[in-house]
Amino acid sequence: MIPITVVDVRDAEDLVVEVLRSGAIAQGPMVKRFEDAFAAVSGTKHAIAVNNGTTALVAALQVLDLKPGDEVITSPFTFVATLNAILEAGATVRFADIRRDDFAIDPDAVAKAVTDRTKVLMPVHLYGQTADMGKLAPLAAEHGLKVIEDSAQAVGASFEGKQAGSFGIGCFSLYATKNITTAEGGVITTDDDALADKLRVLRNQGMRARYQYEVAGHNYRMTDLHAAVGIPQLTKLDQLTAARQANAKRLSEGLAGTPGLEVPKVLPGREHVWHQYTVLVGPHAFLSRDELAAALTERGIGNGIYYPKIVFDYDCYAGHDLIPGARVEDFPVAQSVAEQALSLPVHPHLTESDLDTIIETVREVLGA
């Protein structure tokens, strides 16, 4: 089986043992060391480590002091954590359709979705490539909106040389399958000293010092054990990213011209870090997306459907009063992509033989 992802954190053994031997495994000096390294990677002044990527989104929204009825515009094609975080923060969700070329929120659709209640724009940098921040950032500034970047899949990605997570408040996931992992974990990035201070207090039960409570806070802390797992990966992020980029290039060259298959694009000015390599299986392909996924699985090639539905198209969100009037049919591009998207292995541990097998098998089952 060629897996869709491989997790290898053996380089962290020495640091993990160091933490275990110290006898202090909660948030401590290793977390600070991880934060400093992450801030350098993201090109921001501050990196605040938390216990997962969803927490990062929730905390980022909470420190903006949103009021009931305040709106957050985001993508309808994303992992459910994006939506859940907005709902948990008590804000109203508004969606804007995506573009097919980058799978990210469409600036033109955002412009039409802004109302006088809109306070936050939350673009999702999907699959490892940023949204069009060249248009989205000025649009947010024009309307006085705060920008929270859902950068869960985009550590190391950039737009015209500016890193994902540095256009406003960046929120990253360090889940097991991400390009950088701490097993579970998240990071919030910002250049704003005051916001960084509020986030650090909020994540520690609202304490600035022990039993000195300043706000009603939470336990959003990362442990030193988790930080120890992530530090060695940050030191070789460029190497890991280069391997993903080489694999993606090989896949795109090999799959080009396959009938009914649309390979992903790297758009001008963007550094794609290839968290996922996602193709679109069009309506005229020899097999449907789901049929292709089943055929590849049967032949030992891992694959994933990220994501099978628009984010709110589940019974648990039906009629939710914080999603005013959202209907699947209002987002035709997102709906089309949800029906056609299929991710193939692109991780750094693929061999040349693996890549050849993936390409040959996909072309074979699609009748190329």
**Among candidates 59, 55, 85, which has minimal Cα distance to 226?**
55
Determine the Cα angle at 87 with ends 86 and 91, to 5°: 70
Indicate if 178 belongs to the active site: yes
CA atoms within 13 A on the CB side of 122: 32
Are 187 and 47 in contact, with CB atoms under 8 Å apart?
yes
Alpha carbons 19 and 154: distance in angstroms, whole number: 28
Among 45, 119, 135, 178, the one annotated catalytic: 178
In this structure, what are the phi and psi dihedrals at residue 9, rounded to the nearest 5 degrees? Answer: -120, 30
- Would you call 188 helix, strand, or coil by DSSP? strand
Neighbours of 242 (CB within 10 A): 13
Q: What is the dihedral of CA 7, 8, 10, 15, to 10 degrees?
A: -60
DSSP 73-101: EE-SSS-HHHHHHHHHTTPEEEE--B-TT
Known catalytic residues are 178
